[in-house]
Structure 1
């Protein structure tokens, strides 16, 4: 910035000097008839009028240039004011004594001032954005948004820090509550803070069978499952045993029957489905046998169908191979006939053999 201001001041001083200097007049040629007395008398009236008109035209041109330069570079107004004051002072002088202005030099100075002003604005970040591409404008806009966001974030952090400090000071000022002394607890005989669980080894087959026997109520295994044939056999065996006991001792038979009924009720209470009805077991067995027979028939039918399909494919394959063989032989015979050979088949057809 300092260098730009120095340049601006230098240009303004240079403009003042250029405006103040009189224009170098060309040497006038001496006429033979002109004497010193005629020079002292001064220029004639016609020449004075011409020079006045010329000065007026030049002044108008300079004013137009100034107006244009003011529109282009408003920052150079101070320099122009100084130039106008000097021109005003010079206008008080007689038109014959006034130096001729140079509009070209003024225009060059205005251009320089305008460039300097644009550079200053660009350095400040206030330059014109007409020549910039939309990508750069978008980049600038994003940077500005990012700066604003960071600024807001810093403000929020400062506010939070202040609030936290204020809260800490309030907590520090408050007196700490006195904690009541803990009463000694009476130690009980049992402490449940440690429980050791050992990894149990998998039970053996004998152990599992023993547990299963213990679960059996009244030493009677429940009639459960879907093996209807086995269930029916077990039920028939129980009934046969009861019949034998009735023949020998009716009391024991009744006690055993009551025991069976009670055990079945206990199993049913636990949610076990007991299948102790002989007619239902027979019907279920018939259904199962019927379903099995149907499946067997379906399977046999399927196997027969598969075998039949396989046989059909084999026959078709053999037939195709035979056709290919015959066609190949025919092609060979045709080639031989084309070559002029006489085949036995042709002789047989002609009846020569």
Structure 2
């Protein structure tokens, strides 16, 4: 039996963490492997991780005041104990679920003899945003092999960071449980439209993501400004306490768009919202291979994205929506209008998007690739 340690930088409800959880839920049913999880920080998915496997908590959990103070006073001792346990476990493989764990890999390397893999979910902008050069260089130094989310991302790591092509492989995304049965619900769509107080017959352009620059929330506002006055725009994700949220709402107020651009904080009903979209738009400047695009495709929604933005253009191509030139919001707006004005085209491209998911992301194929990469890395 092979023993594996998976490291997640936190347990927040975001693409990398969700994807890791999906793989671990299935790996739990494979008797040849035994694994534990190390969480550097907590988050809303904490209980989900704990249900899958034993968890090392690198951070200070929210405990009673006395326990919390004790941990803060003994942080070094506490983390040293975790490192000692990891050393004694004698793992056959360590998989880091992000490029941001360089400092931790640096601490682990002298303690373990097994290979260390980095499952990379970031591209150059994300690397600059979420880590510093020293930590990233440590990731490059201590990583024996890499798993990429898309071929586009794999090529960037080879060209920009000098990764040996033989040491980086693409791991296809695993879709959510029950994804193949996922279909738009008329009742859910009706509820969402009522919640947003949309006028009868109003068309909806939607996006899902955090309120940040890399995700292109600023471009989303420009698309709304360039659109027909009867079109509504819905962005799902982020938090109302973010500075960006208040900046965006002020932009919308000044532009007179507050009544038809709806900013919805994080929701546990993303599929219901996507079902209510007529067109799904990915304004991201960079995404290795966004899960939300696959989820929109499962719901037969046509997709509009930017070229040179990561893996999404490789999925959309010329038949599941449109790919605009990088940051060309005018071209993106034109493609959106084309889809909104042509219901038959929307339906055709949405249907093609759904067929592509079935063809390219079967659970068996993704899980087989996952197991093959684990076995290859352990040997």
If the length of structure 1 is used for normalisation, what is the TM-score? 0.17
More RCO (CA 8 Å, sep 6+): 2
State the structure with more CA Rg: 1
If the length of structure 2 is used for normalisation, what is the TM-score? 0.16
